[in-house]
Chain A
């Protein structure tokens, strides 16, 4: 297991698409969500109001790697991110179909798979996410972190905005900045 993991908390996502934009742009493109390795799926309408960012889940037993007929997909020894060997890749889309999350797409112009490379260990989507919905944290603390968040929510203790103004973390932040 890699040292760090990308954790997505869809509850916090507001669907702004900043992650898509920066992901596409950091690989030398303009504004183009099609070239992004992360996409936000919006379920907005009469019945559902939620957003889910979808990207590579960094599987330990990756189906994409298993299905690739030419062995073009391998895992980065440090980050665990999937690396595509473009020389070996024949553009068969096998990995696209094999991925249970639909996280791999074919690059519309180059016809090779686009998959999250974790930006070499410092993912831009996590850096830029304004809501903190995408985080890149230590793998061993990721699971207890999720438990804590769910527990906080269960206890109803998560929303600091209605706590007494004096205890509001934002207020404390402002105070400390003003000192």
Chain B
């Protein structure tokens, strides 16, 4: 009956050493896949105001129904209360672990409690063991996986934390293999707080399909469409680094952004690498001679910008160190950049940073502070608590240069030069709480293709063609005659809401967000195939409409969760220094993000979602309509729901269609 699912939700209580299993089907009729069931579990398990590092705080892994297919679908969603922000924390990891979990017969793993001493979990099909981890505690993530693979089974897939997670650095990451990393919002910290070093999985069971032959042919179609996308071949052959180098995402400031990533590829000739089942293989795999080796996805193009690093070798080193320590490279580099700004403006001196002068682009400053944060040594102990506490403790006007949304540092390339001119991105950034892949507003980037200096082959004509395709799509979504350009405020709430739902579907199914939009924005790969894939695989009829309804339900539940934790309308805002100030340099010089227009955009978005415009809280009506009546009651109980519940006469007609899933 449960085609496409591993079958069980595995709950492991580390305090009591108790292991329980329940069928996924008891959840899968109301919620869909990784991100869907994860948030339901989290909402039910976390009482409001719980300390994210308390033993009761659960850490939830979830692999969606498509995970395991020979298409780019191998993503596992990891959810917990974030120790970095205090709101919903979630991160997404690719690689081989999710599929392996499903081969072992599980869709979700829920970790609760706290082990007395360091342990790791060994899952081999039905057998689940909690084992002593004293021999790997203190080791970095590469060593840990090597040791465990030798000890358990060479085919084991492992997620683990490094020293950062052990030391409870508030933005620690969960690592897998040599470069797959679930790093945002401090999921590794939650794992560390449970004294859990690693989860090793080996599965030999089958994830059955309703119609394998037809499913395979749909997969073939998906791959064929994917390979036709404009930028697929570039990424497939040369990876992100070179593509970023030529400027797709690098419009910030041509004065000092190094265009050297291509040279790095030439110097070290990395191999291609990536996730299970994916044809694209967008990672670069470096041999051990290069700073110890490892895989790099975006460190080299995204990280040099905030710290004005010109030498990309150092960024390579920084990237590998972050992987080994298991720390969020984005939050770390933002904290370093904040220190560098403060130092540059004379607000702090080398004395404040243990004698390390925070000069722009200096290796000692970047690597030195990284190591201090990981080991919580000196100033590192303050910085390791996250950006907001660190800013608070340092004070002295340095908050002016701290770029974060609700305590989560912005993704490195989303600093003012990117966020201010692209109005949709600025709105998406706020709603995705600063996390770049939470809701990708990729149509905005595609619009600025014309501004890019293509270095390797592509030409302006091609870029203009792409922009044209994207503009037509935008017209459709926004429902206007004239496609909104990236500087327009009109139409943006519609576009953001649409892409948010699309991204949520991608996360629920376990598909890759890069390939569902970022570099395939001219061909909607998944949009055309998601319902077919799911229907053929599960044998249940899913329609696009149903998937979008599931996505909206998840979106409302996530919002309700954050509201219960204290989210209000004014927390949905960008750092003050980004508002109402014209950009001084770069390709978008003179661009301004106006507060009142931004607020209007926000109101429009809330109204579209059916949320209360004054507070940003989902109304009773919309919760009821999306099948979250119990959540509405819970919010009411907590005194968070504005207004009275509406009188419902045609309740049945109003309810949206979730189909007859598993009923």
Q: A residues near B, CB below 8 A?
A: 14-18, 21-22, 25-26, 28-35, 44-47, 49, 108, 128, 130-131, 159, 161-162, 165, 168, 170-171, 173-174, 178
Contacts and interface: CB of A to CB of B under 8 A. Distances in A.
A22 B273 CA distance: 19
B207 A30 contact: yes
Contacts of B473: none
B70 A25 contact: yes
B205 A32 contact: yes
Given A17-B277, A18-B279, A33 B457 contact: no
Interface string B186-222: 0000000000000000001111110011011001100
B146 A46 contact: yes
B209 A30 contact: yes
B102 interface: yes
A122 to B, nearest CB: 13
B277 A49 contact: no
A45 B208 contact: no
23 contacts: A14-B271, A14-B272, A14-B274, A14-B281, A16-B275, A16-B276, A25-B215, A28-B212, A30-B3, A30-B4, A31-B207, A35-B206, A45-B142, A45-B145, A45-B146, A45-B149, A49-B271, A49-B293, A108-B204, A130-B279, A159-B269, A162-B266, A165-B455
Q: Which residue among A34, A44, A162, A168 has the maximum number of chain B CB atoms within 10 Å of its CB?
A: A44
Contact of A170 (B68, B205, B220, B233): B233
Nearest to B272: A14
Contact of A14 (B4, B242, B273): B273
Contacts of A32: 103, 205-207
Given A46-B288, A130-B236, A18 B277 contact: yes
Contact of A171 (B68, B178, B457): B457
A29 B271 contact: no
A32 B277 CA distance: 12
Nearest to B204: A34
Interface string B81-102: 0000000000000001001001
A14 B275 CA distance: 9
Instruction: Report, nearest first, the 8 A-B pairs whose CB atoms are least far apart.
Output: A130-B279, A31-B68, A32-B206, A21-B70, A171-B457, A30-B208, A30-B209, A31-B207
Contacts of A44: 177-178
Contacts of B99: 31
A18 B204 CA distance: 17
B278 to A, nearest CB: 6
Nearest to B226: A130
Contacts of A33: 103
Interface of B: 3-4, 68-70, 96, 99, 102-103, 142-143, 145-146, 149, 177-178, 204-209, 212-213, 215-216, 219-220, 223, 233-234, 236-238, 242, 265-266, 269, 271-281, 285, 287-288, 293, 455-458, 461-462
B237 A161 contact: yes
Given A16-B275, A49-B293, A178 B462 contact: yes
Nearest to A50: B271
Q: Which residue among B146, B212, B288 has the maximum number of chain A CB atoms within 10 Å of its CB?
A: B212
A25 B220 CA distance: 12
Contacts of B266: 162
A15 B285 CA distance: 12
Given A16-B277, A49-B285, A178-B462, 18 more contacts: A16-B281, A17-B96, A18-B70, A21-B277, A25-B213, A25-B215, A30-B212, A34-B206, A45-B142, A46-B143, A49-B271, A49-B293, A108-B204, A128-B220, A128-B223, A128-B279, A130-B279, A174-B458
A45 to B, nearest CB: 5
Contacts, number: 123
A22 B216 contact: yes
Contacts of B149: 45
Contacts of B68: 21, 30-31
Contacts of A30: 3-4, 68, 206-209, 212
Q: Which residue among A16, A35, A108, A128 has the maximum number of chain B CB atoms within 10 Å of its CB?
A: A16
A31 B288 CA distance: 33
A49 B285 CA distance: 8
Nearest to A27: B212
A77 B168 CA distance: 64
Contacts of B269: 159
A18 B242 CA distance: 25
A45 B212 CA distance: 34
A26 B214 CA distance: 10
Nearest to B100: A33
Contacts of A171: 456-457
B288 A49 contact: yes
Contacts of B212: 25-26, 28-30
B206 A29 contact: yes
Contacts of A128: 70, 220, 223, 279
A66 to B, nearest CB: 29
A128 B278 CA distance: 11
A47 B288 contact: yes
Contacts of A21: 68-70, 277
A116 B276 CA distance: 21
Contacts of B220: 128
B262 to A, nearest CB: 8
Contacts of B271: 14, 49
Contacts of A168: 456-457
Nearest to B292: A46
A35 B205 CA distance: 9
B404 to A, nearest CB: 35
A18 B227 CA distance: 15
B280 A130 contact: yes
B238 A161 contact: yes
A16 B274 contact: yes
B281 A131 contact: yes
A28 B208 contact: no
Contacts of A178: 461-462
A162 B143 CA distance: 34
Nearest to B178: A44
Contacts of A159: 269
B247 to A, nearest CB: 15
A44 B273 CA distance: 11
A51 to B, nearest CB: 9
Contacts of A31: 68-69, 99, 102-103, 206-207, 209
A35 B149 CA distance: 22
Nearest to A124: B216
A49 B287 contact: yes
A98 B107 CA distance: 38
Contacts of A174: 233, 457-458, 462
Contacts of A34: 103, 204-206
A28 B273 CA distance: 29
Nearest to B145: A45
Contacts of B272: 14, 131
Contacts of B145: 45
A165 B281 contact: no
